Structure formats: C-alpha cells, structure tokens
Homo-oligomer: A and B are copies of this chain.
Amino acid sequence: MTLNHIENRSLRDRVLDALREAIITGEFKPGQQLIETELATSLGVSRAPLREALQILSTEGLAETVPYHGTTVRRLTKADVEELYSLRSVLETFAIRRMIEQHNSEHVVRLRTCFEAMLAAAEANDLKQVNQIDREFHDMLIELSGHSLLLTSWNVVSMRVRQVMALLNRRNSDLKRIAYNHVPIIDAIEAGDSDKAVELMQAHVAASGELIAEGWHDDGEGGDIK
C-alpha cells in the first residue's frame, strides 16, 4: 500500500508559503499593506502564526515592517532591480566556478536535460512554462555548486527576481532564441572553461537585467518589455 504522507506542516509555514506566493506572483502589489487581522480571518487562522510568517517575509526582504505601522509589500525601485541583478550575477558566476571545479559530468547532463525541456516549451510557445524551466535551470546551477550557504542566499535573490518578472507585462518574444541562449553556457561548463562560462553568464544576466531596469518606473512598478 502506498499512502501519501499527510500534510503535517505548521500553520505558520503554510501561511508563509501562501503569502510568499502572493507577493512573488504579484498578486500582492508592492506598497500594499498587509493587515494582520484581515489576512488572518481571510486565511482562517489566528494572528499568531500569521505574524510569525510576516516576520520571516520581512527578513527575507519581501516585506517591510515598521513598528506600530504594519507590514507592507516591499517596494521595488529601479535601484533595487539593478542591485538584484548585479548580485544575482555574482552569485551565479560563483556557483559556476565552484561547479566546474568538481568535474562531474553528471551535472552537465542534468543541465542539458533542463535545456531540452525549455526548448520543447519554447516550441510550444508556452511563455509561462519557459519561464519556470528557466528558473529551474538557474536554481540547478546553484544547487550543483554544492554550497548550501550560497543556496540560502540565492533563494532570497531568486524570489525577488520572480517578483520583478511578475510585475512587468512581457510580450512574447522569441522564446526559442531565449532557450538557445543557454547552450554556449552549458558548452563552456562542459569544456571546463570557467572564465568563458562566467563571462557568458555575466552577459546573460546583465542583458536581462538591463532590459528590465530600462523600462522600470519606480512608481508604476514595471512597464512593458520586449
């Protein structure tokens, strides 16, 4: 008999996931006030676990808490976007170097598998799916570096990148081209050429970062891209 484990996580964790998801997907807009009693009743829990979730969101940088003034969804200025992408670049290139040092061919296989899934989604013209797989690709890079502290730092950055992406209306650009952009990076990793892989990744991240920062309006929160 194959029984599934029953959901046993604490309310706090489930509330945290729900709120995080709402912020990351842009359902909760930047600057929006997160009123405890309101959220608590709408989620059907008391304020205690909800507050704990809000604390965590604050330390993760997704929300902002001012004593006696409440918690709001953190605003994202143009400077924030630039910082986000520059730090992202630093973390990812570090991960690449560290991964290459391990000379594990299994890693390259996994990256290529991921790429192929991305390509398939691109051919189906499925923007959402491409985005998700792109996230998985970059997450995988970090994971394969085998650096757990880096992973936790990355998660914070990654979440906010997702938030940024959700806040702008992207037209469907050439998805296949986006997918193929990853090939030279994988090739450089396979060849063990750290410097080249790093260079390519820096360009890759910088390009998308600039593209986004370019059309960013601090008050309107994101314009149209591509």
* A interface, CB within 8 angstroms of B: 8-10, 12-13, 48, 51-52, 55-56, 59-61, 67, 80, 83-84, 86-87, 90-91, 94, 98, 147-150, 152-153, 156-157
The residues of B that contact A149 with a CB separation of less than 8 Å are 61, 80, 83-84, 87, 157
The residues of B that contact A59 with a CB separation of less than 8 Å are 56, 59-60
Report the separation of the CA atoms of residues A84 and B150 in the bound assembly, to the nearest whole angstrom. Answer: 9
Report the separation of the CA atoms of residues A48 and B84 in the bound assembly, to the nearest whole angstrom. Answer: 33
Main secondary structure, interface of A, reads helix
Given known contacts A90-B90, A94-B90, is B52 in contact with A83 (CB within 8 Å)? no
Contact A147 B86 (CB under 8 A): yes
The residues of B that contact A80 with a CB separation of less than 8 Å are 149
Report the separation of the CA atoms of residues A67 and B13 in the bound assembly, to the nearest whole angstrom. Answer: 10
Given known contacts A9-B67, A56-B55, A59-B56, is B150 in contact with A153 (CB within 8 Å)? no
Report the separation of the CA atoms of residues A145 and B12 in the bound assembly, to the nearest whole angstrom. Answer: 36
Report the separation of the CA atoms of residues A52 and B51 in the bound assembly, to the nearest whole angstrom. Answer: 8
Contact A83 B150 (CB under 8 A): yes
The 9 A-B residue pairs with the shortest CB-CB distance, nearest first, are A83-B149, A90-B94, A59-B59, A52-B55, A56-B59, A10-B67, A55-B55, A87-B149, A153-B153
Q: Which chain B residue has the least Cβ–Cβ distance from A152?
A: B61
